[in-house]
Structure 1
């Protein structure tokens, strides 16, 4: 019997871990030729998530848990589960049931057809705001244009199946800023996608606020390309050329009109604009320097406080 490992990060999901375990168990009750394990990764939860996981692991042998020493983030949590999984294939998914467990059977069927990676393409339900849909679509288009990965709109979900050969490649990577959605695309292999409509969160509230989403977006952009640095250089050349051209026009006008061009407000606005542009460019360079700084220290992506296997 082939073994399927399911990796599920959990941050303050005390009401969801038992429910998603039950849903997954129901799915595998219809898959007689497979055995499974669920690796829950407790990412520094402050509620009763750890106690719930320990209780589940005592009652069900397929339930494993990894407890972090603190909150390290969603991507390191997925990476920890992949590092410890030993199934023939590994499925990563969220604990809030927005990733429907019913899709697992179809993902396994695609894997059996010979695909190494089966990713999912998310469709937002109607209750999700138009702003959320548009910003998500624009982000993935921007990421595809400015980096070396081409994530399809809706294809940035962490709900995916990876063959054990793919997991071995991910396991040997030691990046300080893990961006598994981009890595999955960058690695290649034989891939296919499955469409799904994201479900409603079973209970609790998402811990992904605007600040975390912005940080995650910058991680995705800077993890796979140096194009933003080239963009900064191009902007420097363009605005330098504009400044030289504009100053030439000013000199010619002053010479023939025998007068100076007044305009204190426009001068100040120009100074502020170029000052802001310089700060943006310095910020881009700073992000890359920060990534180098984190990488050369070679600190682990996560620290495990306890686990039951």
Structure 2
């Protein structure tokens, strides 16, 4: 049994040594054969330097230094492309997801499950706003998408090699890995756990990044926003017909038809607003098609530490 652990990092100099210590302590009790793959996503603090020291001290530690910040999902993808394990664990470097839960994940894997994913029963240390928006997001995406994503999950999970190979042949640019893992299927099991506060530092997900991530999840796994344009168009057309009938009645049967500018004004604003909103939705989908057609690499590697052979960028 060979286990790979992928740890994406972005400005984690305050926690990286403790993260490595806890991960090694946990994995050593499970198997002597393992690797820790740290993926530095363009950090501008001392994280790359600390990863270099960790790798020099322990050959089981590997590091991938990306050429710039490509985002969390791309960093995880880089780790998956380089992982050699029979089972691959994804965990963030901030220790909010306790490494000790990996033991239960490995047990479930040994029982025949292909994916063991963590479900957050409590989110200690997070704001009420973040907890509330996370609950709304998962329920919203499950309403809109044909793929059901387990509620209150993150990327903290163990995946069998078979699942990872399936993910590696999915080359989309706007990646939402927890949705992709749900899409591929296989036998999956939930592992409930209590999320801990960050050991140090601050969250790297700003409000804008959270909104963008949520948008990726919804638009990557749902055509409902596009279909809404059809139904809204039908509704708007019906509303316009009522306005037309009203205007004709005023014109033919009353003498107050001239002041009808109010209805016209309201109708133009309403229809114009709806058109602009859904042009934006359509434009977002077209933009994603444009990005896919450019076929740029998902990420670029500046340096690999601890890998015996070069692996081509994906």
TM-score tier (shorter): over 0.9
Give the 5 Å matches for 1:188-199.
188-199=185-196
- Once residues 207 and 130 of structure 1 are traced to their aligned partners in structure 2, the CA distance between those partners, rounded to angstroms, is 17
- Using structure 2 for the length normalisation, give the TM-score: 0.93
Equivalent position of 1:24 in the other structure: 23
Deviation of the 1:273 alpha carbon: 3.2
Deviation of the 1:14 alpha carbon: 0.9
Preserved contact between residue 97 and residue 202 of structure 1 (Cα < 8 Å): yes
Structure 1 residues 126 and 80, CA gap change in structure 2 (3 angstroms): closer
Give the 5 Å matches for 1:251-266.
251-260=248-257, 262=259
Equivalent position of 1:212 in the other structure: 209
Give the 5 Å matches for 1:75-114.
75-114=73-112
| SS of structure 2 residue aligned to 1:150 | coil
Query: How many pairs does the alignment contain?
Result: 306
The correspondence for 1:132, drawn from 125, 130, 133, is 130
Equivalent position of 2:14 in the other structure: 15
Preserved contact between residue 96 and residue 201 of structure 1 (Cα < 8 Å): yes
Equivalent position of 2:150 in the other structure: 152
Deviation of the 1:132 alpha carbon: 2.2
Query: Structure 2 regions of 5+ residues with no counterpart?
Result: 308-314
Aligned Cα root-mean-square deviation (Å): 1.7
The correspondence for 1:302, drawn from 287, 296, 299, is 299
Deviation of the 1:125 alpha carbon: 3.1
Preserved contact between residue 124 and residue 133 of structure 1 (Cα < 8 Å): no
Deviation of the 1:264 alpha carbon: 5.7
- Once residues 14 and 205 of structure 1 are traced to their aligned partners in structure 2, the CA distance between those partners, rounded to angstroms, is 12
Equivalent position of 2:237 in the other structure: 240
Deviation of the 1:261 alpha carbon: 6.8
Deviations 1:111-153 (A, max 9, x none): 0010001111123435533332222111111111112221132
Query: Structure 1 regions of 5+ residues with no counterpart?
Result: none
- Once residues 297 and 277 of structure 1 are traced to their aligned partners in structure 2, the CA distance between those partners, rounded to angstroms, is 31
- Once residues 41 and 260 of structure 2 are traced to their aligned partners in structure 1, the CA distance between those partners, rounded to angstroms, is 57
Deviations 1:68-116 (A, max 9, x none): 0000000010000000001010000100001110101000001001000
| SS of structure 2 residue aligned to 1:160 | strand
- Once residues 158 and 215 of structure 2 are traced to their aligned partners in structure 1, the CA distance between those partners, rounded to angstroms, is 25
Preserved contact between residue 118 and residue 194 of structure 1 (Cα < 8 Å): yes
- Using structure 1 for the length normalisation, give the TM-score: 0.94
Equivalent position of 1:171 in the other structure: 168
- Once residues 132 and 75 of structure 1 are traced to their aligned partners in structure 2, the CA distance between those partners, rounded to angstroms, is 19
- Once residues 29 and 85 of structure 1 are traced to their aligned partners in structure 2, the CA distance between those partners, rounded to angstroms, is 18
Give the 5 Å matches for 1:4-83.
4-31=3-30, 33-83=31-81
- Once residues 268 and 171 of structure 2 are traced to their aligned partners in structure 1, the CA distance between those partners, rounded to angstroms, is 43
Q: Does 1:249 align with 2:246?
A: yes
Deviations 1:235-285 (A, max 9, x none): 111111111122212322443332127476665454333322211111111
Deviations 1:143-175 (A, max 9, x none): 1111222113202x0001100111111112211
Deviation of the 1:178 alpha carbon: 1.4
The correspondence for 2:272, drawn from 258, 275, 279, is 275
| SS of structure 2 residue aligned to 1:159 | strand
Preserved contact between residue 4 and residue 34 of structure 1 (Cα < 8 Å): no
- Once residues 276 and 204 of structure 2 are traced to their aligned partners in structure 1, the CA distance between those partners, rounded to angstroms, is 30
